[in-house]
């Protein structure tokens, strides 16, 4: 699937794209448990468009700028008016081509 085809609410999304930007990680407190998680955002592009990809915990260190990543079984949400791609608990993020 191409990034330009992604819409809020889509599920079971498979995308392969290049990481063009990555923010430094920040810590967030879980709203369900008394735990802290690391989260960062990456901007990925496949030539048809770009989208924000949310990275959690160990995913942050696995992904670098200029890597090509593959997201399988992801889903799309809208946060503060901006759509973003999420891997989630049932999705898979893998680095296809590392730099």
Strand partners, 70: 16, 94
First to last CA, the chain: 23
CB-based contact 51:33 (threshold 8 Å)? no
Distances (CA, A) of 47 to 16, 32, 36, 96, 98: 11, 38, 35, 17, 18
Q: In the structure encoding, which two tokens stand for residue 72, read together? A: 């399988």
pLDDT tens-place string over residues 33-88: 788 999 999 999 999 999 999 999 999 999 999 999 999 999 999 989 999 999 98
Domains, the chain, ranges and CATH? Answer: 3-97 (2.40.50.140)
pLDDT higher than threshold 90 for residue 15: yes
User: Does pTM surpass 0.85?
Assistant: yes
pLDDT reported for residue 34: 84
């Amino acid at each position: 699937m191409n990034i330009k085809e992604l819409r809020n609410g889509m599920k079971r999304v498979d995308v392969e794209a290049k990481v063009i930007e990555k923010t430094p990680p920040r810590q967030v407190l879980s709203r369900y448990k008394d735990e802290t998680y690391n989260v960062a955002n990456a901007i990925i592009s496949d030539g048809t468009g770009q989208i924000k990809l949310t990275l959690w915990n160990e995913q942050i260190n696995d992904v670098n700028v200029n890597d090509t990543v593959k997201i399988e079984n992801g889903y799309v949400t809208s946060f503060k008016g901006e759509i973003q791609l999420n891997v989630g608990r049932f999705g898979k993020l893998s680095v296809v081509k590392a730099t």
